[in-house]
Structure 1
């Protein structure tokens, strides 16, 4: 019987099975809660920055939002700054947390390119209008700076 137990134990060790998952410590749970708070703070911050940038650029007549909710009250598209931007910021932070450094850079550049291209489609749909002096490369670099700033804010706030 002893030989059976010894052989079985040796075979089980050779299987290299992962051990039972350990329970999370209180500090790990607290870190998880803090991460949610940091993400929420980053979302709020991005929404505020996006709102103020839109207000600034619309007042300087650099761009406008012809199709927007409550046009009598707001000069900017509040649907973007209160719904779309916060959701995209949460996704952005969630994805960035999982990427290695080089992939983070490529990811941010890709988003900048996509936003520059999507603005052209938004203009064709009548959701967005730029002044004649506007170049879509400004959007590319603007989103690069904005996303880097949001990522730095998230990392600093942690």
Structure 2
């Protein structure tokens, strides 16, 4: 039962962190979401923070808990690489826009740190 609670708590935690980071960076005009649900209400893409990120976190935890520590680190690096590459595709689709000051390496390292924090929170909560 504690494993289930740790999963749920970590998913909620990742959604909160993702939401607040998006609010911070959108507020600083580092990036924006031109195509988003409820654009008159939210400046961020709530579909990402309330749907996609929780699903992604669930998959990450499910896979990461089956890996060795070294494999988990490689997995986190791979996630960072994939997300930084996928941002370019998202920009081409008009889902995401970055300012001139943004570098995709921010996402690479940012998501690696984010996933490490998520993993540590999950392990702590267990």
Question: TM-score band (shorter)?
Answer: over 0.9
Q: Does residue 1:90 correspond to 2:29, yes or no?
A: no
Q: Distance in 2 between matches of 1:116 and 1:58?
A: 17
Higher relative contact order (CA 8 A, sep 6+): 2
Q: Does residue 1:139 correspond to 2:107, yes or no?
A: yes
Matched length: 126
Q: Does residue 1:67 correspond to 2:32, yes or no?
A: no
The runs of 5 or more residues in structure 2 that have no matched partner are none
Q: Does residue 1:105 correspond to 2:68, yes or no?
A: no
Q: Distance in 2 between matches of 1:66 and 1:102?
A: 38
1:118 corresponds to: 86
TM-score (norm 2): 0.99
The runs of 5 or more residues in structure 1 that have no matched partner are 1-32
Q: How does 1:30-49 map to 2 (within 5 A)?
A: 33-49=1-17
Q: Distance in 1 between matches of 2:106 and 2:24?
A: 15
Superposition deviation, residue 145 in structure 1 = 0.4
Q: Distance in 1 between matches of 2:8 and 2:124?
A: 14
Superposition deviation, residue 66 in structure 1 = 0.2
Q: How does 1:12-31 map to 2 (within 5 A)?
A: none
Superposition deviation, residue 94 in structure 1 = 0.7
Q: Distance in 2 between matches of 1:134 and 1:96?
A: 29
Q: Distance in 2 between matches of 1:40 and 1:90?
A: 9
Superposition deviation, residue 101 in structure 1 = 1.2
Q: Distance in 1 between matches of 2:38 and 2:65?
A: 36
1:15 corresponds to: none
TM-score (norm 1): 0.79
CA RMSD of aligned residues (A): 0.4
